[in-house]
Amino acid sequence: MMARATIHDVAAAAGVSVATVSKAVNGRYGVSAGTTDRVLAAVAALGYESSLVASSMRSRRTGVIGVLVADFEPFSAEVLKGVAVGLRDSRYDLLAYSGSRRGDGEGWERRSLSRLSGTLIDGAIIVTPTIVNVAADVPIVAVDPHTGRADLPTVEADSRGGAFEATAYLIGLGHRRIGFVSGRPDLKSSRLRDAGYREALAAASIAFDPDLVRVGFYEADTARRAAQELLMQRDPPTAVFASNDLSAIAIIEVARSLGLDVPRDLSVVGFDDVPEASRLALPLTTVRQPMQSIGQAAARMLTSLMDGETLSSTHVLLPTRLVSRATTAPPRVADTPR
């Protein structure tokens, strides 16, 4: 079996450097038309035209959409499934890419797009981006964006409404000391869930208590530490609303380690309704956001942009709904606000 041709083989055949081959196949400035023709002739002769980069040089299109995520956690995995469904009958293939989050993690989108756009993908969907204004050579749609003003088309669920419904549900069960474990402070969804929690308390004339709030960053380990702090207070909450299901599951684990019974001693509500939420030994009460529908909507928006269409709306907001399961109940003892 013949070895697959490499960029070094192309460079040797064309009598140029590897850097020149890279510039030629990527259409970058600084390579003469004659040299580009010579490089492409070598690409064809050696069979290197089968590579995505070489073929995209000819058509300026790769037929690939990239979905960029910081991590392959349950939310992004469900969104990814929705994107795949949205592209099923299209002419586009799907590339899932997890960007490196060096340092504080901000700006990983720029690094990822610089690697992918123009040679590997024709457009990108960025899931939970840390930045909202990204300069790129391809159309971009953001899912669950950063808190700042976004110039990008965006798709998200009704985080404020979902958080309000979750907190109001716990209040309706009789809880008054309701803890809150928030998400990533830089994300719009987290800010809105915080707002929904506070608005539900205010609507029930329950004073907001900062001692009942901790930051969980949407991460299980951080949520465990937050739960320890909340549940070991002298006057702990009788219920906790968590900004995502991973955090809610971590809170339940901590509660059990402290000898608390869920839901008799502590009610817990999550947000997302990831597949694991309904498969737990004690199925999780949670706010269902339509994660796969979010992915499908993002895919439709992106393909429309790539086809040169004008979007009827650059922001899509999808509804949420509460799913009541086994982790919530009235407080064991009548709960009164302080």
**Cα 155 from Cα 75, distance rounded (Å):** 14
Q: For residue 277, is pLDDT > 50?
A: yes
243: exposed, middle or buried (C-beta count within 10 Å: 0-12, 13-18, 19+)?
A: buried
CA 318 to chain centre: 15
Mean pLDDT of the chain: 88
Which amino acid, one-letter code, is at 273? D
Q: pLDDT at position 65, please?
A: 94
Helix axes 52-59, 18-25, angle to 10 degrees: 50
Q: pLDDT at position 56, please?
A: 52
**Cα 282 from Cα 255, distance rounded (Å):** 13
Is this structure's pTM higher than 0.85? no
Q: pLDDT at position 7, please?
A: 81
Q: pLDDT at position 40, please?
A: 85
Tokens of 294: 């979010």
**Cα 51 from Cα 108, distance rounded (Å):** 26
Q: Where are any strands of DSSP class E within the chain?
A: 64-69, 93-98, 123-127, 140-143, 154-157, 178-182, 213-215, 239-242, 267-272, 285-288, 315-318, 321-323
* pLDDT tens digits for range 119-163: 688 899 999 887 666 667 789 999 988 766 567 899 999 999 999
Q: Note whether 53 and 120 are within 8 A (CB).
A: yes
**Cα 247 from Cα 288, distance rounded (Å):** 15
**Cα 155 from Cα 300, distance rounded (Å):** 11
Best CA proximity match to 231, nearest among 210, 195, 258, 250: 258
* pLDDT tens digits for range 168-188: 999 999 999 999 999 999 888
Please state whether beta strands 321-323 and 285-288 pair in parallel, antiparallel, or not at all (unpaired): antiparallel
Lowest mean pLDDT among 18-32, 61-75, 232-246: 18-32
